[in-house]
Amino acid sequence: DVKVTQSSRYLVKRTGEKVFLECVQDMDHENMFWYRQDPGLGLRLIYFSYDVKMKEKGDIPEGYSVSREKKERFSLILESASTNQTSMYLCASSFIGQTTEQYFGPGTRLTVT
């Protein structure tokens, strides 16, 4: 069974704090993704990574950075959290290529006050 885990289910942070969201997968997947989900806007890709230390911007990278030092772990970093980053964050992983199935973690509901 594919397993994608995220470090927190719920997180509350203050404006200006540095926030780390972590994602770990146990299937030796090359690709890892960070999406955010907002009412009315749906799911949108923030960043993805196709290998260790490799990253590509998605549709909405502004205000975020990522880190992938190990194959199984992909971190999303909010350098200085703002209230408009309050959202549901979903991590996913898949084998290399366009035709491979993506599997999602349970999500982290982040509130920035």
Partner 1 sequence: GIQVEQSPPDLILQEGANSTLRCNFSDSVNNLQWFHQNPWGQLINLFYIPSGTKQNGRLSATTVATERYSLLYISSSQTTDSGVYFCAAVHSGAGSYQLTFGKGTKLSVIP
Q: Which residues bind partner 1 (CB under 8 A)?
A: 9, 31, 33, 37, 42-43, 45, 48, 50, 58-59, 88, 90, 92, 94, 97-107, 109
Residue among 21 and 92 whose Cβ is closer to partner 1: 92
Question: 69: alpha, beta or left, given left = phi > 0 and alpha = psi -120 to 50?
Answer: alpha
Using alpha carbons, select from 83, 105, 81, 110 the residue that is nearest to residue 23: 105
Residue among 85 and 107 whose Cβ is closer to partner 1: 107
Write down the least CB distance from residue 38 to partner 1, Å: 12
Q: Give the whole-angstrom CA distance, residue 11 versus residue 97.
A: 32
Write down the least CB distance from residue 89 to partner 1, Å: 10
